[in-house]
Amino acid sequence: MLIKTYGSAVYGVEAITIAVEVDVNNQGKHYFIVGLPDNAIKESLERVESAIKSDQYYMPRTKLVVNLAPADIKKTGTAFDLPIAIGTLAATGQINEPERIGEYIIMGELGLDGIVKPIKGALPIAIQAERDGFKGLILPVANAKEAAMVNNIEVFGVGHLNEVIDFFKQKSILIPTTINTREAFLHAQSDYEIDFSEVKGQHNIKRALEIAAAGGHNAILIGPPGAGKTMLAKRLPTILPPLTLEEALETTKIHSVAGKLPEHSTLVSKRPFRNPHHTISDVALVGGGGNPQPGEISLAHNGVLFLDELPEFKRTVLEVMRQPMEERKVTISRAKIALDFPASFMLIASMNPCPCGFFNHPEKECTCPPGAVQKYLNKVSGPLLDRIDLHVEVTPVVFNELSSQNKSEKSEVIRQRVIKARELQANRYSNFSTIHANAQMNNKLLKEICKIDTVGQNLLKTAMEKLNLSARAYDRILKVSRTIADLSESENIKAEHLAEAIQYRSLDREGWSV
């Protein structure tokens, strides 16, 4: 007897509905799974048999063929255990509701005792199930809240195989999981545990990060060990505009596919902050692998990617980021499929000014040998540095500021200024689907939007000549000055805006060249 159940396979951040065809006949005594399954799926019949027997049902002792269609797409993972088990029971007449079974997407990994274990990608699976017109979705209870964020489809969370069997035999009912999407989203946007008000001193660094947040600019913090670079970078998400519901769903899909969502969670409601170690590989950072998975830059989508001690990262790792930073997506190509992972993130990097960390330190002397400073800085390539708008020098906090009882500005206050600046940019770029912030301006828009008067031109010319700024600094200064003008709600870029932007090009100055 031939029975069809339905599951789903995740490719990139999207899902494809898979028909799980189970056929039992008397022309042999072997089990087969076809349709390009990986090893985890090939082993599923062993798990299915043990799980079925634990519920006092039986596996056929005749020929059993499972086909995963479409058969030309590779299937991976253990989530097909549950639809294979239900299909097998229906094909052997132990469940007599084949038409009802076909109304649901069924997914879940089975333990040998019938326990249904969590899966990856529940949110994109639910989205695709709703698109394809299925009545409902049956999946592990740990993934139910995540999938229930999709409206217009019933989501049933189950903890054991016997719950699914009894549901299809109409011995019991399953209660659908319901979530008020907007209410859950707003509730989850709680306050951060860290705040800029906890940072003593460092007013110029806070200002630089505010500018970076307002314009979506990449930034690099340069300073000695213990100056507070990491502490400041970790607080950047607290001043970024809150995620929109659309951004939250998109971000959640990526984390769901990667298996990074906590159990029973619903949405990623705060902007991600990813901080990979400098020993990370190319694939782990950008994504890929035999079964392509999102990397750190995709997990940082709509948030911040922080690379601490930038020169310590392998050069090849840093170079593979250049294309995603420009296109804001990663394309992973394989023989039969090409997958796109979103990668629209802010890059915040930090580095010591030299191997010992004390080059240009106001009090301590640099102990590096001649040429070591330049060699250290050269670990960061010019093309990568071209994509970083702000170079910020971080100096150690003096004792008087550390011991001061004065209250610093809260993140919420800074965030409101950032939101206002982003709203101005949203209106400015409303006719451009791929441009949302000043950092994303192309050369054509730069000439139209970042016009400066004669005073500004003279100031910029003088700065470039006296500070020996490189040509690549010119466009970056204009973009940053446009953001500074937006923060001050100025329609035009003024000389003071340019003057402030010029000071954020430390690595372009003579003696800092990379």
pTM exceeding the 0.85 threshold for the entire prediction: yes
Task: Name the DSSP letter for residue 439.
Answer: G
Both 480 and 428 in a single domain? no
Both 143 and 192 in a single domain? no
CB 3 within 8 A of CB 90: yes
Domain boundary among 436, 468, 489: 436
Alpha-carbon torsion (246, 387, 397, 466), positive or negative: negative
Both 251 and 335 in a single domain? yes
Closest CA to 124 of 18, 19, 38, 9: 9
Burial (Cβ within 10 Å: 0-12, 13-18, ≥19) of residue 44: buried
Judging by DSSP bridges, how do beta strands 2-11 and 14-25 pair with one another? antiparallel
Give residue 225's pLDDT band: very low, low, confident or very high (50, 70, 90).
Answer: confident
Both 453 and 432 in a single domain? no
Q: Which domain holds residue 462?
A: 441-514
Both 420 and 493 in a single domain? no
Judging by DSSP bridges, how do beta strands 136-140 and 273-274 pair with one another? unpaired
Q: What is the pLDDT of residues 44-90, one digit of tens each?
A: 999 999 999 998 999 998 999 999 999 988 899 999 999 999 999 99
| Of the listed ranges 35-49, 115-129, 178-192, the one predicted with least confidence | 178-192
Judging by DSSP bridges, how do beta strands 31-34 and 104-106 pair with one another? unpaired
Judging by DSSP bridges, how do beta strands 304-307 and 346-351 pair with one another? parallel
DSSP string, 183-218: HHHHHH----S--GGG--S-HHHHHHHHHHHHHT--
pLDDT of residue 513: 47
Ranked by mean pLDDT, which of 186-190, 366-370, 437-441 comes out on top? 437-441
Task: Name the DSSP letter for residue 223.
Answer: -
Both 240 and 347 in a single domain? yes
Q: How many domains does the chain have?
A: 3
Return the CA Rg of the chain: 28
Q: How far is it, in rounded angstroms, from Cα 281 to Cα 461?
A: 42
Q: Amino acid identity of 120?
A: K
Percentage of the residues of the chain whose pLDDT score is greater than 90: 55
Q: Which 3 state secondary structure label does DSSP give 438?
A: helix
Both 271 and 130 in a single domain? no
pLDDT of residue 483: 95
304, β-bridge pairs: 273, 346
